[in-house]
Amino acid sequence: MVILTRDYSALPKGELLIGGRRVSTGSLGEVTHIDPTTGATTGTFPVAGKDEVDAAVGAARAAFPAWRKLPAVERRAMLLRLADLIEENGERLAQTGAIENGGPIAFNRRGCVAGPAGWFRYYAGWCDKIEGRQIPIGEGTLDYTIVEPMGVIALLLAFNGPMSFLGFKAAPALAAGNTLVIKPSELASWNVLLFGELCEAAGIPAGVINIVTGDGRTGALLAGQPGIAKISFTGGGGTARAILEIAAKNLTPTAMELGGKSATILFDDCDLNTAVPTAVLPALSLMSGQVCLSGTRLLVQRGIYDEVLERAVAATGSIRQGDPMLDDTQMGPVISKFHQQRVLDVVTAAGARGDGRKLVGGTPLEGEFAAGAFVTPTLFADVAPHSELAQKEIFGPVLSIIPFEDEDEAVAIANNTNLGLAGYVFTENFGRAHRMASRVETGFLSINTYGLLHPAVPFGGIKESGFGREGGHEGLLEFVHVKNVQAKIN
């Protein structure tokens, strides 16, 4: 295994984007970004303070009247041009993604390019289809609705897929006629800054899209800015609670896409040749387990339990872990050395408590990879359903395997969590599959496949996995008001 050399000078400049102006300093200093693969410093970003956040929101508010009044066909043309530019700059976006969050280049070509371009094209098609309705409430009265944009939307993004999150959030918000202030994670800001450049090249007017980099202090200032019409956040529950507390002071509405501890359920009639690799490989290798919808609990019916353990170990051993810039790499590092240690501590503590039996993994990579934040893919068998290992989101390459006897026990174990984002069921029994779809407590469930976040499909969680939906018409409705108009006509 090797680590390719990096050209960090090719990254965009670490600058704020406020009303079309580039701002190179922030009143709260700067933050350094570290390449999680090499441990090298890639550059610095300004940490936006109150003055910069207020200016960004002010610029978005100033741009809002003209943007909302722009003919829908013109707004659509800009979003379609932006989608084209994302594809034209695809390799740069993919390489930048691999540098900033350690996701394999093959994954980033989908997550940074194909996926977001598709989402912008989908929502561009909605620009001239946002309609109200006429309501017959009685003779002599005309009653109708008008669907209006909300205003300035604050987008607070996680590190594990910033370009994807822009597709999920920015595309529908812009299509509906809103303006944006975007705050990327301090762990992955480069591609969001590049996105700002592409928006300018697409002809989107100055002030419609503003970007403020920084850390949690910047996010808190943005969440509390009274000019914000809505906050859309992707991240962890702890940060979400802090945002909600701040937003409550201004009664600012929010949409929250939070964590998961999703169950993948394998019944004894499933096709193991498909089910085991589909259950195991994405949970461990996809962004090194740092994906909220990953099935990090694998529930297996006892009749096939031993065979699944054997197949799971073999599948885990096939994962090619290494430099994310290499085309054949399937799994890179976790996001930082701090997070690497956190995941390793979770593995050690689980073993000490007897939460389960470790089969493989749970170690750092050594040699030339020692400076990076690598954790080998980890399997635990015989995991107790009520244990901390089975209950808490680890956000790393750790898969907990739990046996069950029958359908009722599978449902009880799957629902035994405060989270409810996604779920996966593998069975050849059609009736059972759809019974499970109605019984498992999630916002999203896949049958005999891994979840596909298509732009036309609504996605989101229940319980402590959040509220609001991204994708489809439901995702568009997150960024509009419905006004009712009633008039006497005789």
Residue with token string 């295994």: 1
Residue with token string 């006429």: 134
* 138 conformational bin, left if phi > 0, alpha if psi -120 to 50, beta if neither: left
Which candidate in 169, 183, 230, 261 is catalytic? 169
Sign of CA dihedral 282, 85, 94, 208: negative
**470 classed as catalytic:** yes
Which candidate in 52, 100, 186, 470 is catalytic? 470
Sheet arrangement for strand 152-156? 21-23, 16-18, 209-211, 179-183, 152-156, 230-234, 254-257, 466-467
**What backbone phi and psi angles, to 5 degrees, belong to 259?**
-80, 175
Round to whole Å and give the CA distance between 219 and 215.
Answer: 7
* Contact status, residue 55 vs residue 45, Cβ threshold 8 Å: no
Q: How far is CA 298 from the centre of its chain?
A: 22
Round to whole Å and give the CA distance between 481 and 176.
Answer: 10
Which candidate in 257, 393, 464, 478 is catalytic? 257
**407 classed as catalytic:** no
Which candidate in 292, 393, 464, 478 is catalytic? 292
**What backbone phi and psi angles, to 5 degrees, belong to 475?**
-65, -35
Round to whole Å and give the CA distance between 354 and 164.
Answer: 38
Give the residue numbers annotated as catalytic, written as ranges: 169, 257, 292, 470
